[in-house]
Amino acid sequence: MAMMNAKQYEESLRKLKLNVWMFGKRVENVVDDPIIRPSMNAVALTYELAHRPEHEDLMTATSHITGKKTNRFCHIHQNTGDLVKKTKMGRLLGMRTGCCFQRCVGMDTLNALSITTYNIDAKYGTEYNKRFLKYLKYVQENDLTCCGAMTDTKGDRSLPPHKQKDPDLFLHVVEERPDGIVVSGNKNHQTGAVNSHEIITMPTITMRKEDKDYAISFAVPSDTKGITYIMGRQSCDTRKTEGMTMDRGNMHYGGHEALVIFDKVFVPWDRVFMYKEYDFTTELVENFAAYHRQSYACKSGVGDVLIGAAQSIAEYNGVENASHIKDKIVEMNHLNETLYCGSISCAAEGHKEACGTYLVDVLLANVSKHNVTRFPYLIARLAQDIAGGLMVTLPSAADFDSPDIGKWLKKFYQGKADVPTEHRLRMLRLIENLTLGTAAVGYLAESMHGAGSPQAQRIMISRRINIKEKQRLAKELCGIEKGDHLS
């Protein structure tokens, strides 16, 4: 079939029979649920923009296995140009949605698996890559959204998977059958899980021989029997149910996370891409992490929105010409563009792997993501500084609409006389949403913990830095290598 548009994507989700729970109750209509719907809208935009001529170059690509046009989120990177376009696509969607648009994890999982399945086959003579390419063709031809599932709840983090008191704290094989495997366990913090057609799992950490039952990767339809989704809460999430768009800040889009439970889920062999090859878990985890750390160019797109909101509220408050305000806006832009630079650099310095897939520069990808764990917090701090305390003390939209007290609120919350009070309030709510509310999950908390917490990047940076070469350069310049001595 041809690439789906936004409406077709929505209709495809309606056909799924997902087992989703929220606030202790089963969600019967996931697509139209007011809390989940904004996150679906964000994913739908990735389909919509792919059909717009002005965005076609970034949003689509030519499949290396079919030669047909495909959504870039289903594409395997064939050159550094693809990697750069991925970065630019992330920024575009970040600025258009002001939140997480949820498809990056699946894209990064597909690309990491294209490399690792090939390398496992080269060592062991298996057929994982053949299976993977068949699956990839299916994903591309049906224009599917994939949820990349890596993180387990982990239990006692001082213990490896095989020593956990409860083995289900990590996803693992519980039965091997002639036609496939049966798995149990969980995947946590799953971005966009209930907006996805497919769930693709990976090991969450490096595995040892004793953990081989946990060294698995596979794909299943998201409504497979035995899979349950429990939605995570976000700050201010119930504002979406109140029917007052002003209090939501972002009127159209949002994100979501879920705990995904696998209770004796059957996986046919043709959808298994790693089965107990524990010696390849490090490669898969690190390559996925590198790709996904590049993906945080989206935060520069969300940063664009926040900077625009900060400038606007400064103008609405009548302080846009104050020197300290101008300087803060410049600082916000400097930090935001630095984030973008990091993602572009690791893409431009990418290289071709043995399978033909292009991988980002792993060191630069980790440096880029490490900046993301810091700079959005500084940008948000400056935005809150410029916005002022009213951002967190505003009465509700219902109070403004009240025939009894609304007149007082509109009178006393007026900023510049030529700016409608409502415009000022909406901008403040947007800043609140981006720095404190539901979107803060996708901007701040996700900046910190998404694709691994800061220490994970520091470990990778330490591994990738060639400190001996740096020492050699220093010694050569000061004469130590040549045996020069002071006279």
Q: What is the Cα–Cα distance from 283 to 281, expressed in whole angstroms?
A: 5
DSSP of 152-167: ---SSTTS-GGG-SSG
298 tagged catalytic: yes
191 tagged catalytic: yes
| Centroid of chain to Cα 227 | 22
Start-end of H helices in 421-486? 421-435, 438-440, 446-449, 454-464, 467-478
Catalytic residue among 146, 298, 346, 355, which? 298
Which SS3 state, helix, strand or coil, does residue 76 take?
coil
Q: What is the Cα–Cα distance from 340 to 356, expressed in whole angstroms?
A: 26
CB neighbour burial string for 39-48, b if at least 16 within 10 angstroms, e if fewer: bbbbbbbbbb
Q: What is the Cα–Cα distance from 258 to 229, expressed in whole angstroms?
A: 6
Catalytic residue among 292, 346, 373, 435, which? 292
Residue type, 239: R
Catalytic residue among 70, 87, 109, 191, which? 191
Q: What is the Cα–Cα distance from 108 to 116, expressed in whole angstroms?
A: 12
108 φ, ψ to 5°?
A: -70, -35
Which SS3 state, helix, strand or coil, does residue 31 take?
coil
Q: Which two tokens stand for residue 184?
A: 């149990």
147 tagged catalytic: no
Asked if 65 contacts 136 with a C-beta cutoff of 8 angstroms, the reply is yes
Residue type, 202: M
Q: Which two tokens stand for residue 364?
A: 């630069």
Asked if 443 contacts 434 with a C-beta cutoff of 8 angstroms, the reply is yes
446 tagged catalytic: yes
Place of tokens 């060592």: 123
257 tagged catalytic: yes
Angle at 172 (CA atoms; ends 170, 173), nearest 5 degrees: 170
Strands (E), 178-214: 180-187, 198-201
Asked if 460 contacts 289 with a C-beta cutoff of 8 angstroms, the reply is yes
Asked if 44 contacts 196 with a C-beta cutoff of 8 angstroms, the reply is no
Catalytic residue among 74, 100, 146, 147, which? 100
Q: Which two tokens stand for residue 178?
A: 């002639």
Catalytic residue among 253, 296, 358, 443, which? 296
Asked if 137 contacts 65 with a C-beta cutoff of 8 angstroms, the reply is yes
Catalytic residue among 10, 257, 277, 286, which? 257
100 tagged catalytic: yes
Catalytic residue among 104, 236, 346, 355, which? 104
Q: What is the Cα–Cα distance from 47 to 71, expressed in whole angstroms?
A: 8
Strand partners, 219: 200
Q: Which two tokens stand for residue 471?
A: 């020492």
CB neighbour burial string for 200-233, b if at least 16 within 10 angstroms, e if fewer: bbbbbbbbeeebbbbbbbbbbebbbeebbbbbbe
Q: Which residues are catalytic?
A: 100, 104, 191, 257, 292, 296, 298, 446
